[in-house]
Amino acid sequence: MDFSLTPEQNMIRDMVREFALKEIRPIAADTDREGKFPWETIRKMGALGLMGMTVPSEYGGSKIDVLSYTLALEEIGKVCGSTGLTMEAHNSLGVGHIFERGSEEQRRKYLPRLLTGEGLAAWALTEPNAGSDAASLQTTAVLEGDEWVLNGSKQFITNGSIADIITVMAKTDKTKGAKGISAFIVPKGTPGLVYGGEEDKMGLRGSVTSQLAFQDCRVPKENMLDEPGMGFIGAMQILDRGRTAIGALAVGLAQGALEECLDYAKQRVQFGRPISKHQAIQWKLTDMATEIEAARLLVHRAAFLEDRGVPFSKEASMAKLYASEIAVKAAVEAVQVHGGYGFTKEYPVERLFRDVKLYTIGEGTSEVQRMVIAKHLGL
């Protein structure tokens, strides 16, 4: 068993780390404070190939192995959760579903612009009354002539109001439950696509989270992804990939919290010496480091299995569950180590504390991950 990274993986990690430190970290606090979407940064990421990491070059992407992708997400997530979530939702969900389940014609028509950073992809599954129980979604799609007519609403859609392309799950046969759900490509500007309000969130404030409505929204017949009734199955497969990616973002945020603590603890003097010399602080930091490394290994194992084309659903859920909960713990401890300063916006740990909680909720709550794992255990 080889835990070392290849020269190419090290190169990708180092390149993304340098970019994150130079281009993203300096504006992360302002991005959060102003709730301003960092379009300029996203376009720079597109130029580096970071917005097309799940798609081969024949469509304009920079397809790399899954482990390298998780390394990139970790480096972005370490300095800015908002930018990391935008990148993940675009690559893993919006772009990923079109590439994995779309036809050759759909790939060539919709993917190229999305991979440059000039346009973003969104993925619309969640509804006001269908969160964890995604199969109970109520949005419908009815075939009328050569068009599908969509009606319904979606909630908590990352990139929703600013996306060029939205992949939408809707029921085409209400009598078949989850097997009656299909997926559709809905471009920006489609008549009947209505943008609702954007969520005023606790954290990840530089990431756009939108409500969407479909009011007799008509798309061409050929905009259905995959076969009728395959939307839910496709969505669950995409979520498996997304869970590994969310795990990587969580590891990145936790690592960022640890590094902030290490710097602060070496400088902050109490009782005549740096607090890093006090055992109470040392144990907090050593526990954080150990748990983060364990989470990182779970993420890498899920990525390793996906890269080899073998089942990884259980491992992805384990990685997402453990990494997200450890990241919350790390953020809490980071504020504690900083004391009163940690409760102010002067230090990044306050922002990390607010950002991290979403990772235990998005793309399947911790409770849902436990349900998935239990099923794989035969329970």
Tell me what the pLDDT averaged over the chain comes to.
Answer: 96
Q: How many domains does the chain have?
A: 3
Contact 345, 327 (CB under 8 A): no
> Is the domain of 64 the same as that of 180?
no
Q: Choose the final residue of a domain: 166, 194, 229.
A: 229
Long-range contacts of 278-282 (CB under 8 A, 24+ apart): 281/337
- How many Cα neighbours within 13 Å face the side chain of 332? 8
> Is the domain of 49 the same as that of 74?
yes
Q: Residue 2 has what pLDDT?
A: 83
> Is the domain of 155 the same as that of 99?
no
Q: How many residues does the chain have?
A: 379
pLDDT digits (tens, 9 = 90+) for 308-325: 999 999 999 999 999 999
Is residue 103, in this structure, part of any structural domain at all? yes
> Is the domain of 333 the same as that of 280?
yes
Q: Which CATH number is 68's domain given?
A: 1.10.540.10
Is residue 209, in this structure, part of any structural domain at all? yes
Q: Residue 231 has what pLDDT?
A: 96
State which residues form the domain around 289.
232-376
Q: Which CATH number is 160's domain given?
A: 2.40.110.10
Q: Choose the final residue of a domain: 64, 94, 114.
A: 114
Is residue 360, in this structure, part of any structural domain at all? yes
> Is the domain of 222 the same as that of 250?
no
pLDDT digits (tens, 9 = 90+) for 43-66: 999 999 999 999 999 999 999 999
> Is the domain of 307 the same as that of 348?
yes
> Is the domain of 368 the same as that of 237?
yes
- Measured between alpha carbons, how far is 287 from 284 in angstroms, rounded to an integer? 5
Q: Residue 1 has what pLDDT?
A: 73
Contact 195, 162 (CB under 8 A): no
3-state helix, strand, coil in the chain (%, to 5): 60, 15, 25
Q: Choose the final residue of a domain: 179, 210, 229.
A: 229
> Is the domain of 349 the same as that of 263?
yes
Q: Residue 374 has what pLDDT?
A: 98
Q: Which CATH number is 360's domain given?
A: 1.20.140.10
Contact 137, 125 (CB under 8 A): yes
> Is the domain of 297 the same as that of 345?
yes
Q: Which residues of the chain have pLDDT under 50?
A: none
Residue 297 amino acid letter: L
Contact 298, 247 (CB under 8 A): yes
Is residue 2, in this structure, part of any structural domain at all? no
* Residues designated catalytic: 363
> Is the domain of 154 the same as that of 73?
no
> Is the domain of 125 the same as that of 53?
no
Contact 81, 25 (CB under 8 A): no
Is residue 219, in this structure, part of any structural domain at all? yes
Tokens of 173: 């046969």
Is residue 1, in this structure, part of any structural domain at all? no
Q: Residue 329 has what pLDDT?
A: 98
> Is the domain of 162 the same as that of 262?
no
Is residue 178, in this structure, part of any structural domain at all? yes
- Measured between alpha carbons, how far is 374 from 295 in angstroms, rounded to an integer? 19
Residue 332 amino acid letter: V
Is residue 181, in this structure, part of any structural domain at all? yes
